[in-house]
Amino acid sequence: MARRGNQNAWVILWIIASHVFVFCSFSLAFANKKATGLPWSFLEEHHTQILQLASDDEALAFFTSTTTRETRGSRIHMNSQSAPTQLNLPTEMRESISSYLKSLAAANHAQILREILVKPTTGIPPLSDIIPGEAQLQWIMTHPSLQELKLIIDGYRQISTWSQKATSHPVPPVGEFAKFASYYDQTYQDWDESPQSWTSLFTQHGQKGIEDRLLEYWQISHHLNDLHQSLPPIHDAFTQLYIETRLLPMFRMILLTKTGELEATAYGNTWEAWKKIQQWQQQEQTNSDSTRLCGTWRWVVHNHQNHGDRKMTVTFLPPDQSSPSQIAPSVIEIHGDTVYLKWTFPQGVQEDSLLISNNDSRLEGTFKNSLGPYGSISGKRLTTCQP
């Protein structure tokens, strides 16, 4: 008996140690959330609105109404005047935005639950007091990697019920309860998700499954038969005390670990979706920049080294087109009306710093070449891109 008791103790210690390791890892990572900026700052700035979303359509409308395609570094600029219809979002980007907002909401909920569960207190508040909105929970769980949230929510609700339930039954005799507890401690030692474990029983049959198993002692035991017959409510007291002293701490620790795992998954999803959104925005910005230059230009290039002028025709193709015979810049950047072009040649590179004006019909600026030449560029648009 002592050996089996020690095994149970080691299981408890292992679970606690595992959680402490996970929790400490999360604490170090999440302590720097504000320092890393987005995507977390988006949740901080729009916390109320995000926690009211309950569908993909709502998520897309909210995101596109509060962001523009213009980026500066890794930060999206907010623009409350932007209309949802301004962005023609491809399917992949719609999925990324939906995943991003679902994961932000899930990470928020998981963090709240984790902070409550980690506190060394017996009672925990009802779920409705901390995470209002069943519709959002159902929406979050449509994400394939966030479906574990259902088990966490169900587990939290049950733990909250057990924690808030006041024991109205008489306290059972200490010695008799020790026999009752010993029977279950030795008969059902698996605390993980094996078929006979308490966790699997609760997952499959809920509170009733737990209570039915805790009646098993009375059905097979004879040494408490007289006590059972003389005090019919006594088994309720034994059941409640075993739940409070054995099962509730165990379920709470398991739930805490699962909540931490879900939080990590949600943050991982958030980063992945955010990177896709950033890449798409950057590509859209590049395409928009290229469209401003798209067409045929007459350039006059003046070389200050030999004071000679060279006239040339330069064609910028549409963003989705390329031609092996057409020399194109390796880099095109437009910030406002400032244009930066980098041309890469076998013998070196050339960089152009230009200003676009007159409704994108004129280009004026300078160039410098890695081989030495430098000078001025004057360009006039001849044609725009053909549709």
Top CATH class of 294-384 equals mainly beta
C-alpha angle 56-58-60 in degrees, rounded to nearest 5: 70
The tokens of 351 are what? Answer: 């960089």
Per-domain residue ranges of the chain: 2-284, 294-384
C-alpha span between 301 and 79 (Å, rounded): 40
Sign, Cα dihedral of 125, 126, 132, 138 = positive
pLDDT digit string (tens) for the chain, length 387 residues = 444 444 444 444 444 445 444 444 444 344 344 434 567 788 888 999 999 999 999 999 999 888 754 343 333 333 333 333 445 788 999 999 999 999 999 999 999 999 999 887 767 888 888 887 899 999 999 999 999 999 899 889 888 888 776 555 667 777 888 988 999 999 898 777 788 888 888 888 888 899 899 988 887 756 555 455 545 567 788 888 898 888 888 888 889 999 999 999 999 999 999 999 988 888 887 777 778 888 999 999 999 888 889 999 998 888 777 776 678 888 888 888 999 999 998 889 999 999 999 999 999 999 999 988 899 999 999 998 866
